[in-house]
Amino acid sequence: MPFEHLAITSVHSMPCIQCRPLEVPPLKMGGLANRGEAQPRLLPCSGSCVLGFRDSCQNELDGLNKKGQKAHGRKMRHRSGICPSYLGTRRNLTHHGGAPLGSHPCADGATVHANLRDQGPRRCPRPCCGRAPGRAMRMAHAPRQWSRSPAALAAAAALLLVLTYMAATRSGKDTSRRPPAVPSTTLDEDRVRKSCTPDGGRGGAGMRVVITGSAGFIGYHVAGALKGRGDGVVGIDNFNDYYPVSLKAARAQGLEKAGVYTVRGDVRDVEMMSRLIELCRATHVVHMAAQAGVRYAASQPMQYVDYNVAGSVGLFEAVKAAERPPAVVYASSSSVYGRNVKVPFSEGDAVVHPASLYAATKLAVELLAEVYHSLNALSVTGLRFFTVYGPWGRPDMAYMSFARAMVEGDPVRIFQANGAELARDFTYVGDIVAGVLGALDTAPPSTRELAENRLFNLGNTRPVTVTEFVTELEAALGLEAQRKFVPVPNLGDVLLTHANVSAAGSAFGYSPQTPLSEGLRYFARWYFEYYGADGHTMADDERNYKPV
């Protein structure tokens, strides 16, 4: 199975001819380099590289630990961008007085830890000050932007969701299919250790990462990108049958060829997850496992609560139990903004009107992250993804179903509400991966002094209507679509999504770089290579699959 689509490391990378028989461009890493300057030279590939190409950056890092260097979240930039060998390394800079990254000055210039809410006031370490900070200063850099009232309402909504689930379970009146019992999993310990060992390609600074949902769309790309730059990676996926398992198996097979072992298991199995984190000696966990899809939630609510909410609790419990708890980066969704009318959506907006049960479960996960951060000092970073597209997508996603309909000569259904078209902030998966890696690279450790609860939007910032999207897809596929406009079903879709990504840009240089037309060309090349020009290589379970 071709695996070149996983070639995601940095803008310094270029495809290796020996290792890339298919001409599928590598996914871009937006915002991680200065595009106008010369890039480091690519070393010739001997054919032994994991994903088809390697970075070569021999320059020394500029600005690390220099006297007087500011540590206030400033991006450490190389002369020609961020050095690939530095991507993912921990920053260990300090202010005067020994305060760590994330601290802020008190009134007279001394420093006080920003993360004070779970410890009570701590006095300034400088004897000249001796004062405890007031509330305004304690909250000056608080990562969460919710006010008390929206947060309380959101918590109440999450509690209501859980109580509804419990009541339905006890009454037996819920007719949706419940997820199967959590199966026991026996880990292949040698394979886990080997998969989690960094290959030394980043100067010994590689992470050890456990990725849940690694056989899923985004998890697959993130796993390949991390392995490609030298990090140790092990994946876990339950291979549920929400959509054809053959596609998940193909992704897992591609990861296996790259040296990433995928455990067939369930994140709700806390004992197994704890053992996996221990065997990996994980420094980070990327939590991508979830039941996806807005419309499917209307008919299968139990699965969403069990997989998304209970599954996240299981993951956080396993992380909490680790001897050295890893930092957690988890997937949230733009759907949490629900019926908000203020655009673009910003992390500080109130999120109290979720339009679907799926959105409510994602909001519940954000609240759970806050709880585990506050009570257990876990470092947690939530990423709200905006309408991701690209190679290896799920068959239930709009652009995948559009492509199949066009290839097979069927009408493309375009939803409308009150005569208005839906518009989405379509974001290429390569830009999303860049954001995930940026969040990992800047995630503080899970310690009482340094842990933070962060939340970022990852989008393209350029929403387009679905009709415009179909027009671009026609050009990419070289096919004409039969447009059929239909009323949007009342299953939780919103009219518009639009991301404000300035917070992610400030924190780790996130800047989406892939125009829609370019991203769809990459997708079209993969689609025809994987399924064939007329879909003749499509697996039986995919051929028979009909999305909701």
Which residues are catalytic, by number? 358
Instruction: Find tokens 């609560």 and name the residue.
Output: 305
Instruction: Find tokens 């999120």 and name the residue.
Output: 351
Kindly state the tokens that stand for 526. 């993969």
Strand duo 380-385 + 453-458: pairing: parallel
Phi, psi of 440 (to 5 degrees): -65, -45
Question: Do residues 67 and 23 make contact, with C-beta atoms less than 8 angstroms apart?
Answer: no
Question: Do residues 154 and 351 make contact, with C-beta atoms less than 8 angstroms apart?
Answer: yes
Scored b (16 or more CB within 10 A) or e, 335-353 reads bbbbebeebbbbbebbbbb
The sign of the dihedral angle between the CA atoms of 62, 68, 70, 71 is positive
Provide the 3-class DSSP secondary structure of residue 410. Answer: coil
The full 3-state SS of 301-358, as one line of letters, equals HHHHHHHHHHHHHHHHHHHHHCCCCCEEEEEEEHHHHCCCCCCCECCCCCCCCCCCHH
Residues 6+ apart with CB under 8 A from 153: 352
Name which of 182, 192, 251 is nearest 216 in CA terms. Answer: 251
Give Cα separations from 407 to 217, 404, 480, 533 (angstroms).
22, 5, 9, 8
